[in-house]
Each structure stands twice: as structure tokens, then as C-alpha cells.
Amino acid sequence: MESFSKYLLNSGLNSRHDELTFILNPCEVDELQESNRVLLGKIISKHRFGKAAIQGSLKMSWHAIKGWKWKEIEGGLIQFNFANRDDAMNVLAR
């Protein structure tokens, strides 16, 4: 918390750490990830694709890879989580 307090002071915000409130919902808490199992991507297209279309396309492309999941994060980025490092590196290589 001390580094966050230093950030607040350095950024010109005048607040104490005991004045800050965070509300976390269980579905919003990110799971800890083993290193090199997460890739970030962005779909660049003239067309907008729904989640079902993205999921279906990736399932066909990555049919041999088991245990992966994805979620949209800010700015149109997609976070892909893989069961192991080798699967993530395989996708990255392709």
C-alpha cells in the first residue's frame, strides 16, 4: 500500500490510503496466472464480431489446444489464458 500512497502523492492527488475504497465483485477478480500462459490480442476487421463468432472461430483454429479461455478487456483487447506455457507459445508461433 505504501507504493500506492507514493503514487498518489507523486501524481498530485491529495488523499490518504485510509480514505480509498475499493469494491471487488468475485467475478471481477483475476486469477493468478503462471508466467507465459497469457497472450493479448486484438481483432482488426471492418466488421464487428460477436462473442459467439469469435469463440467458434477460435475453437476451430485451436481444436488441438485444451483448457484455454478468453475475455475481453479494455480498449478492445482480448486476453487469452492457456492451461500451459507450451500451448500459449504454439498459438503465438502460428
The pLDDT tens digits of the residues spanning 5-19 come to 444 445 445 555 556
Domain boundaries, the chain: 18-28+38-93
The helix (H) or strand (E) run that includes residue 79 is strand 78-81
Q: What is the pLDDT of residues 12-43, one digit of tens each?
A: 455 555 566 666 666 665 666 557 889 998 88
Distance CA 94, CA 64 (A): 13
Q: Which of 27, 51, 38, 41 is nearest to 83 (CA)?
A: 38
Distance CA 90, CA 52 (A): 23
Distance CA 94, CA 89 (A): 9
For residue 80, the tally of other CB atoms under 10 A from its CB is 19
What's this model's pTM, rounded to 2 decimal places?
Answer: 0.58
pLDDT value, residue 94: 83
